[in-house]
Amino acid sequence: MVTAVGLEVQPGIIVAVATATDPQNTENLRDVVQSIGVFPSATCDGATLNVEDDLAGSGIEETFGTVVSQSTHASLYAAISTAQQWPVELRFQDRDGNRTVGRVLARIIR
């Protein structure tokens, strides 16, 4: 279960972060590749910019890496930088095949 999603604004880049927990209180999220996609517009139009990473464990905030670079997506960087939240698409699963898939509004972290 994804418990928090954020987009962290840093100089020149925006980094995706997320926290997920396993409802069965096991570590079966660990080392399973997860995906976060950032929409190129606040209205969810267009294909998402995706980042993937594995989780170190349940309940730990993970950095997924740079999802938007100001040098390649200047208008998107500017839009996210001034927003309070932004739509993202999540594709998370655990080793047992339980999935969390859907669109949520990520909080913007400055």
Query: Is the per-residue pLDDT at 66 higher than 90?
Result: yes
CATH architecture of 2-109: Sandwich (2.60)
80 near 7, Cβ under 8 Å?
yes
**What's the confidence (pLDDT) of residue 53?**
94
Whole-number Å distance between alpha carbons of 20 and 9: 21
For the stretch 39-61, pLDDT in tens is 999 999 999 999 999 988 888 89
What residues does each domain of the chain span?
A: 2-109
Burial of 2 (0-12, 13-18, 19+ CB in 10 A): middle
Number of CB atoms found within 10 A of residue 10's CB: 12
Find residue 15's DSSP bridge partners: 8, 66
Mean pLDDT of 6-28: 90
Under 8 Å CB-to-CB from 46, ≥6 apart: which residues?
39, 40
**What's the confidence (pLDDT) of residue 19?**
93
Could you tell me the pLDDT band of residue 23, with boundaries at 50, 70 and 90?
confident
